[in-house]
Each structure stands twice: as structure tokens, then as C-alpha cells.
A = this chain, B = another copy of it.
């Protein structure tokens, strides 16, 4: 059983932050839960009853033994800079950003000595945003990756592992750059493609565009759901995982060229063989219980 934190402060009470607040509460993992956010989000968090305190003042982190950055990747540096002067010795700082090396580059140098920073990323989410969209079961059975730097505090890593396991996640540790390559193909590239194809459809001549919406079939429907994800979050992901995304996009581009050529010359065997081989990977994913 994971030991409860005295005071957890969640910076950015959106889909992920508010889901963490709900999960920590549900599993009795925090005595006090507070939120740092801006605009009307602190008030919305309080009225939802998912946090005990909420403020747009970064000094709310005073007294925290766990602080979680749950803002878009591009905002992690700014938020780390504003909370840094108020962090207590011994506090653990982590994050949930979808890119890891860039977050570490932006955040680590703001963290005072005696405060333990361990970057992380729960592989769980939906296309919705904001504190209302969260739910306690989001992390159930999902992976939570930790990407500590070589100098990270082992006790902090262990405590985070125990905490995320207690909310139902499977925890794994990997180097940040490796994380960024794996996620580029499993998550970032699919989102880029979904955004593009839905955009391509939007740009079709008026008549056909309406029919695209009307007769939206399986395939496109799934893509529109993916392409309904938060634009700020995804802008930040692409700006901060540029190299891995462009590398994977280059490979995809080559493979698409092979299929396009097979279609053009009527090479049914190549099409059939490519399509048959992808069925196998689906089976592996079902076996790995990620489907």
C-alpha cells in the first residue's frame, strides 16, 4: 500500500490533472489536494469538489510534498519557474507531459537543490479537456511511464511508482529520448495524420464536404474523434518532439508511396500482403491487453 502524501498540488487542473485529483482522493493517497491554475479553472475545480484548495497564486505549493505539472508541454517551463521559489525541501515534482526530453530540458534547471524531479507520462487520455472531463478510473490498467534522469532520487522514483500503481497503473521506467521515439509512432503521428485527413476533408468543395459529414463512415469517424483533441496540447507536442515525429513521418511517407504505387499499377498481391501483415500486430496488442 502506497503511503499517502500530506499535500499534493496539481498545476493545471484539466483532463489529466483533475483525473489525478479524483484518483488520489478515491484511493486515499493524499490528505490535502490543491490546484494551481488560471482564469476560472480554480473556481470550477472547487465547485466540482475535486480539490480542497485552488488558486491562481503559485505560492499554493508551499508545504507540498508532491507537486504535479499537468499543463500543456510548452507551459511546463513557465509553471516550473513560477512555483520554484515556493517549493519545500524534500518535495517531489513530477509531470504528465506527452513529450519527455523537452519537458526535462525546460523544467529541471528551475528545480531547487533538495527538491526531487522525476518526469512521467500516463498513457491514458481522451479527446476532451478541462476539469469537468476527468474521471478517477482514467489510469486503471494503463501504463504510467517514468523517465528519470540518471541523477534522480531513487526514493522519489519508488514513491511515485507506488502511488501510480495504487491508482491502478502499470509503471515502467525508460530513458526520455526512447520514450519520445516510441510515442512519436504510437501517438503523435496518428494524431498528426488524423488532424490532416479531417482537414483535407474540410477543404473539399462545399457539396462533397457536406456529404463527407453526412456519410462519415467507420475510419473517418474514428479520425474525427482523434482530431477533436485539444489544439494547444497537440501544438506543444509537435513543437517539442519535432525530430522523432519528422523521422517517423519520413518512414510513413516511404511506406505510403509503396502502397500508392501498388494501387496505381494494380498490384493486388502487394496490397494483400501488406494488409494481412498488419492484422498480426492488432492481435499482439489485444494479447498485450492494450486494446
How many A residues are at the interface, by size bracket?
A: 35 or more
Judged by a CB distance under 8 angstroms, whether A252 is at the interface is yes
Judged by a CB distance under 8 angstroms, whether A260 is at the interface is yes
Judged by a CB distance under 8 angstroms, whether A288 is at the interface is yes
Residues of B within 8 A of A188 (CB): 219
Judged by a CB distance under 8 angstroms, whether A125 is at the interface is yes
Chain A interface main SS type: helix
Q: Report the minimal beta-carbon distance from A74 to chain B, rounded to whole angstroms.
A: 8
Say whether B238 contacts A123, CB under 8 Å.
no
Q: Report the minimal beta-carbon distance from A174 to chain B, rounded to whole angstroms.
A: 8
CB within 8 Å of B: which A230-261 residues: 231-232, 234-236, 238-239, 242, 245-246, 248-249, 251-253, 255-256, 259-260
Say whether A185 contacts B201, CB under 8 Å.
yes
Judged by a CB distance under 8 angstroms, whether A173 is at the interface is no
Interface residues of A (CB under 8 A from B): 74, 123-126, 143, 145, 172, 174, 178, 181-183, 185-204, 208, 211-229, 231-232, 234-236, 238-239, 242, 245-246, 248-249, 251-253, 255-256, 259-260, 262-264, 266, 268, 271-285, 288, 290-291
Say whether B202 contacts A186, CB under 8 Å.
no
The answer for the CA separation of A279 and B202 in the assembled complex, in Å, is 11
Q: Report the minimal beta-carbon distance from A119 to chain B, rounded to whole angstroms.
A: 16
Given A222-B222, A256-B193, A275-B195; A217-B251 close (CB under 8 Å): no
